[in-house]
């Protein structure tokens, strides 16, 4: 997934960004609401992590305005405001989840996964695809009963295809999901990851439409 992180605390922001990328997602980190708006105008994000107290404004009015413009990108609020009234206000403004600082980074990973599954229309973390048993919460794949180790990038690519069965993804779309803004991407990176996934999970797990892109294969 491609995630926009809006957080002005440099220590926490760096920790969250590193956690996101370690999980195989791409992360763009901004420190102000105006920068967040600029990114959201130009990049189709899968998720926004939003701090409520940023130098140029508060997150709640910003979120209300975002939803008012019809932007349905999932949002998880990250904040030190821990009163029940604060949580209610955030959720009523359009947030999908609310995480109180300080929080465990493993919990952040779990909540990101939970929100992603809900928006993919499959809240069940366990999926059967052919001879593959996939646990979205544990980020693991078993093939014919045996655990298949995947790298973070391999998992992120497979998860993107798995979340949209039948949808054709161009190479550029997959690169956008795996790499942050401005990151240098080798021209054959997606091809390499697809090849490795086929070796690990079966040659038919990913279908290629020559010159167009990739989709999840039939199970």
Class of domain 126-216: mainly alpha
Lowest mean pLDDT among 6-10, 19-23, 100-104, 185-189: 185-189
What digits encode the pLDDT tens for the residues 19-66?
A: 999 888 889 999 999 999 999 998 889 899 999 999 999 999 999 999
- Nearest of 32, 22, 28, 211 to residue 108 by alpha carbon: 22
What gap in Å lies between CA 21 and CA 39, rounded to an integer? 18
pLDDT at 41: 92
Confidence of residue 141 (pLDDT cuts 50, 70, 90): very high
Average pLDDT, the chain: 90
- The neighbour count for residue 150, using CB atoms within 10 Å, is 21
Confidence of residue 193 (pLDDT cuts 50, 70, 90): very high
What is the DSSP pairing of strand 75-79 with strand 47-51?
parallel
What gap in Å lies between CA 58 and CA 64, rounded to an integer? 11
pLDDT exceeds cutoff 70 at 185: yes
Domain definitions of the chain by residue range: 2-119, 126-216
- Nearest of 56, 52, 30, 54 to residue 43 by alpha carbon: 30
pLDDT at 6: 97
What does the H/E/C string look like for 65-88?
HHHHCCCCCCEEEEECCCCHHHHH
What gap in Å lies between CA 175 and CA 187, rounded to an integer? 10
What does the H/E/C string look like for the chain?
CEEEEECCCHHHHHHHHHHHHHCCCEEEEECCHHHHHHHHHHCCCCEEEEECEECCEEHHHHHHHHHHCCCCCCEEEEECCCCHHHHHHHHHCCCCEEEECCCCHHHHHHHHHHHHHHHCCCCCCEEEECCEEEECCCCEEEECCEEECCCHHHHHHHHHHHCCCCCCECHHHHHHHHCCCCCCCCCCHHHHHHHHHHHHHCCCCEEEECCCEEEECCC
Lowest mean pLDDT among 4-8, 134-138, 153-157, 158-162: 134-138
Tokens 């086929």 -> residue: 198
Cβ-proximal residues to 190 (8 Å cutoff; 6+ apart), any chain:
157, 171, 174, 175, 178, 214
Confidence of residue 159 (pLDDT cuts 50, 70, 90): confident
Fold type of domain 2-119: Rossmann fold (3.40.50)
pLDDT at 166: 85
């Amino acid at each position: 997934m491609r995630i926009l992180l809006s957080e002005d605390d440099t220590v926490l922001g760096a920790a969250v960004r590193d956690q996101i990328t370690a999980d195989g997602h791409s992360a763009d980190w901004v420190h102000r609401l105006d920068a967040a708006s600029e990114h959201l105008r130009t990049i189709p994000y899968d998720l926004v992590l939003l701090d409520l107290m940023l130098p140029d404004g508060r997150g709640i009015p910003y979120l209300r305005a975002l939803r008012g413009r019809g932007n349905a990108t999932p949002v998880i609020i990250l904040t030190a405001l821990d009163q029940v009234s604060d949580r209610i206000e955030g959720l009523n403004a359009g947030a999908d989840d609310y995480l109180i600082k300080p929080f465990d980074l493993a919990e952040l990973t779990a909540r990101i996964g939970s929100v992603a599954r809900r928006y993919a229309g499959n809240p069940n973390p366990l999926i059967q695809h052919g001879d593959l048993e996939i646990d979205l919460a544990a980020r693991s794949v078993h093939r014919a009963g045996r655990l298949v180790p995947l790298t973070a990038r391999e998992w992120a690519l497979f998860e993107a295809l798995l979340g949209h069965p039948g949808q054709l993804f161009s190479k550029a779309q997959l690169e956008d999901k795996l790499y942050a803004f401005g990151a240098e991407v080798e021209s054959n990176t997606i091809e390499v990851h697809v090849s490795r996934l086929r070796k690990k999970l079966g040659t038919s797990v990913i279908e290629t439409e020559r010159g167009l892109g990739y989709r999840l294969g039939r199970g």
